[in-house]
Structure 1
């Protein structure tokens, strides 16, 4: 085995990327298959030894299973050095039909999202894709592709007529094979204030249309005549702006659309014609703009799995969501703005983020009803005044990540939250708790790995009993200005790897410094970070 490995490294000519890619290919093989790989390497490099890297990349691509080849070629859409969000990528794959649900042993059905994550992981393991950032729960958050691998990917995709990458001027000049194009990536970096719409009648078979626009831009698209591309399944308009803030009504002609991102488009009104998009699986309306008008267009979107609403939005009637039986992600929902029958259950919901208008400080039972209707949720963000948490049994037993912000809790939340047996990430942020005392009791938080206490301005005393949070790895304390000291019980949490103290009084920091009266509580922590702790 060692001899074979050295021989293959020799054929790579000492090129690090070639060695890495070949290593990824071998990792997917049994030892007895290595000789076959070596034979193929020799064959690929026999005629053109100067093209070692290209040939190794070609070998790696040819070795991909059929279901992974289109997933890899789809990466050619994204610009060089682009951090590709994992969720968006896998949902685009879903929209294109590259992923289908499968049955696993024991009869449990994987979701398409689960399958998509495995596809991406396999591309990473084969060293064809690199991990950019990991999320707090250990999943890939972003990925990227090496510049040279991207060049290969783009060339391969264009040769196979898989997609075209262009900008507006070059589109007007190019006529080659236009009618055959199935996927189009448009890079807009023009300084023009207004850009004419694309002549979409040239692209009748288009399935994916992805715009890539700088986040801060003054580009405005004119009406685009979507009805010319009725076979479209994936449409990404992120950061695009439309004149007068109106998305063209003819978006309603895109009845085959599965993925639609209008993130940061500054659209003021969602057209009612969007209700025709009955095949949508992902709809992203997130925007920082105030007061987007959202009509009740979701009731017929029975295939919708991921719905991202704007942070601030207006409704003329409550949004009907009870037909969305496949919904897994619901972000920025204002409970008062949606209609949920009392008996309705979001059986598949995994991620929920509630919010409220910042000047609306009223509380009712809607939040408890929404939380209780999500038995499988694993990520929950509550960004609104609720004053009192639901009971522990009303939370999903699968809940792994919880963020509270401006919830205005009057009672110690730890008494409830420490009973959530699968909770791994807890973030108590600005005014989530208004009390003075907080207690983590023995055997509480059995799986908690990360705890953030930020801007709890009234917190004075925090107690941690021995045996609490036995798996805690990361603790962050930020702007809790009345907190006098950290708990004694922290010294018994031997798993703690990193303690971050941000924007706390100097006296708080001095107590934790070496030689300070509280240093014994943290001397076992490998990484102790202080930032902006100079307040008197």
Structure 2
């Protein structure tokens, strides 16, 4: 069958993906062979015929998932987590099926995407270093072209790009619109619109009179004396026009289920209008990195009772002097929320109530100063938790076992803590409640790590940043049976010596030591780290030499040295100047 693919790698891979789904059944392979031969008997046959064959071979539940990928621009790196949230919000994968299949909708959607990967219809770009799960992927240009043509044929969506951005209006029959180029929102006339995704910034220059602005060497400047007087007025007019964009959207797209404004990081209005609460059908709302002159969110957000994903991480684009976002205490009304991303700097008149969000899977930027710690115990489905800010436990009992549990989520696999205010005892109690944790990232100042038995034995990835540990953490961490990746960054340890004992770190594959300014010696005993494949050392200026114990590690494949003293580098390279497994960077 390969000879029919005209030597095209994509066609060969796609054909292999089709065969891989046939369970080595001879009859099914023969059917595929017959179909391939039939395609290439035509005079006009080309690789598109093989791609069409792969589409025709898709089961019904995979076809809309595949067609949905045509929303994304050419060469766009698609983040799997975001795509899964969009698929669920669109109803392509329904949460209502969870009880029937015994899996949550996110796992079902993930399985669908992995089927497309196995069929070679999408290409993996990046995998999670800890779990090896796919993080991002892309579509081959030819596959994307075929996907787009099929989606247009089935009127699956409408793309606004260079070919039609200036047209007077879009087709009124489409329910999904993907904005690849800037166009006036008022050009969209579809009152049945369900999905509006942006992939291009709306430039403020598009709203200014061009005669006031000139460009030289990539920089804009005011080109006449009157401009400085009129500039403030122009900004005011621009903001009014931007508010007009909001008004048009909120008045005409009342059936929206998906509104993704994340890529628009230029001015998008003086504030988020209260009319946002009229979009009661919304399932997905992303305001990430949007710029508002007034970073105050309206209480009408509480009307969005169907929301499943809410991203309020506005701070990067915020024009507020305080760089703090006001969030009204209405999120507790959104009982269907599955993914909540709070602002990193959040202000509210009272603490945010989140205890009603029992379906929550992702919670980012939680802190005990702005939220109630007790609410975490109700989030039994939580999988990913990021604490950013103060973490304190009130009425804490000195005997850890006598404190009530903080979390009862059996599926919590990822925990990240960024805090300047944390008691080591509180951290210990929190970690003791996370028995199934696989990924742990700590950016907190603590003198020593919690004892080994308080850490999850399922941990495969640990990253420590700015912890300023005084005691050597290796005797604790080397006991973790499944730990594969360990990273010390930016003053994570301020001691002088680290020691890895025999039989320690049985599965460790990657060790990174970066910006440990006081580290003078790393000792590795024989039979320690028997599975180590990669070692990275950088900006550890007091480290004199690599440990002798490394010579016993036969699995080591890559040694990366970065910004280390010349004497250290000379000792490493002695007699091995051309060894490809040693990478040295200034």
TM-score range, shorter chain: 0.7 to 0.9
3-state SS, counterpart of residue 299 of structure 1: helix
Kindly tell me: are residues 319 and 449 of structure 1, through their superposed partners in 2, closer, same or farther at Cα, counting changes over 3 Å? farther
Q: Is the 8 A contact 1:497 1:526 kept in 2?
A: no
Matched, 1:528 2:523: no
3-state SS, counterpart of residue 482 of structure 1: coil
Kindly tell me: are residues 311 and 97 of structure 1, through their superposed partners in 2, closer, same or farther at Cα, counting changes over 3 Å? same
| One of 153, 156, 171 as aligned partner of 2:150 | 156
Kindly tell me: are residues 359 and 441 of structure 1, through their superposed partners in 2, closer, same or farther at Cα, counting changes over 3 Å? closer
Partner of 1:288: 316
Partner of 1:338: 371
3-state SS, counterpart of residue 125 of structure 2: strand
| One of 250, 261, 271 as aligned partner of 2:298 | 271
Structure 1 residues 339-382: Cα deviation after superposition (integer angstroms, max 9, x where no partner): 11188265333333333499984433654455444443322322
Describe how 1:227-242 pairs up with structure 2 within 5 A. Answer: 227-240=251-264, 241-242=266-267
More displaced stretch, 335-344 vs 33-42: 335-344
Structure 1 residues 295-336: Cα deviation after superposition (integer angstroms, max 9, x where no partner): 334323333333333444444433333333333333343343
- How far has the Cα of 1:407 moved from its partner? 2.4
Matched, 1:205 2:201: no
Q: TM-score, normalised by structure 2?
A: 0.78
Q: TM-score, normalised by structure 1?
A: 0.84
- How far has the Cα of 1:72 moved from its partner? 0.4
3-state SS, counterpart of residue 49 of structure 1: coil
Partner of 1:414: 474
State the alpha-carbon separation in 2 of the partners of residues 86 and 264 from structure 1.
Answer: 20
Structure 1, unaligned runs of 5 or more: none
Kindly tell me: are residues 13 and 508 of structure 1, through their superposed partners in 2, closer, same or farther at Cα, counting changes over 3 Å? closer
State the alpha-carbon separation in 1 of the partners of residues 165 and 530 from structure 2.
Answer: 59
State the alpha-carbon separation in 2 of the partners of residues 14 and 169 from structure 1.
Answer: 33
Matched, 1:93 2:80: no
- How far has the Cα of 1:213 moved from its partner? 1.9
Q: Is the 8 A contact 2:419 2:443 kept in 1?
A: no
Partner of 2:537: 477
State the alpha-carbon separation in 2 of the partners of residues 54 and 515 from structure 1.
Answer: 54
Q: Is the 8 A contact 2:325 2:345 kept in 1?
A: yes
Structure 1 residues 445-499: Cα deviation after superposition (integer angstroms, max 9, x where no partner): 2322222211122222222223332222222112122222222222222222211
Structure 1 residues 231-282: Cα deviation after superposition (integer angstroms, max 9, x where no partner): 3222211131444452232222233322222222234333332233333333
Kindly tell me: are residues 255 and 458 of structure 1, through their superposed partners in 2, closer, same or farther at Cα, counting changes over 3 Å? farther
Partner of 1:260: 285
Kindly tell me: are residues 312 and 155 of structure 1, through their superposed partners in 2, closer, same or farther at Cα, counting changes over 3 Å? same
Q: Is the 8 A contact 2:332 2:356 kept in 1?
A: yes
State the alpha-carbon separation in 2 of the partners of residues 127 and 260 from structure 1.
Answer: 31
State the alpha-carbon separation in 1 of the partners of residues 203 and 26 from structure 2.
Answer: 51
3-state SS, counterpart of residue 147 of structure 2: helix
- How far has the Cα of 1:160 moved from its partner? 0.7
Kindly tell me: are residues 269 and 109 of structure 1, through their superposed partners in 2, closer, same or farther at Cα, counting changes over 3 Å? same
- How far has the Cα of 1:82 moved from its partner? 0.8
Partner of 1:327: 360
Q: Is the 8 A contact 2:306 2:334 kept in 1?
A: yes
Structure 1 residues 91-147: Cα deviation after superposition (integer angstroms, max 9, x where no partner): 21122222246789xx99333332222212211221211112222131212111111
Kindly tell me: are residues 216 and 242 of structure 1, through their superposed partners in 2, closer, same or farther at Cα, counting changes over 3 Å? closer
State the alpha-carbon separation in 1 of the partners of residues 202 and 517 from structure 2.
Answer: 34
Kindly tell me: are residues 300 and 481 of structure 1, through their superposed partners in 2, closer, same or farther at Cα, counting changes over 3 Å? farther
Partner of 1:363: 422
Q: Is the 8 A contact 1:421 1:446 kept in 2?
A: yes
Matched, 1:112 2:105: yes
Q: Is the 8 A contact 1:209 1:235 kept in 2?
A: yes
More displaced stretch, 495-504 vs 269-278: 269-278
